[in-house]
């Protein structure tokens, strides 16, 4: 089990991630809004601009204000 640092002392298990995507597209914005409506959104941005959206196998959607490094993305694959 490898943990990814998603900023501000928050960690997420790379094994549980399905996707790491850019937050700017309309489909991703819909996914984030749907997760918010279902209370499945984890906002780890601490009020900053979202740079990464991660989707977990549990259905949770995680927002991060810190870019995930290339080695972090590799670990999630």
- Which SS3 state, helix, strand or coil, does residue 18 take? strand
Number of domains in the chain: 1
Please say if the pLDDT value at position 76 is more than 70: no
Contact residues for 14 (Cβ-Cβ < 8 A; gap 6+): 1, 2, 3, 4, 72, 75, 76
Question: For the chain, what is the mean pLDDT?
Answer: 91
Please say if the pLDDT value at position 74 is more than 60: no
Please say if the pLDDT value at position 17 is more than 60: yes
Give the domain extent around 39: 3-76
The pLDDT of 48-59, averaged and rounded, is: 97
């Amino acid at each position: 089990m490898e943990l990814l640092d998603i900023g501000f002392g928050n960690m997420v298990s790379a094994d549980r991630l399905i996707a790491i995507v850019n937050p700017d597209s309309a489909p991703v914005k819909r996914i984030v809004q749907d997760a918010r409506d279902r209370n499945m959104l984890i906002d780890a941005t601490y009020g900053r601009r979202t740079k990464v959206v991660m989707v977990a196998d549990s259905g949770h959607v995680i927002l991060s204000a810190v870019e995930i490094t290339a080695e972090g993305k590799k670990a999630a694959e």
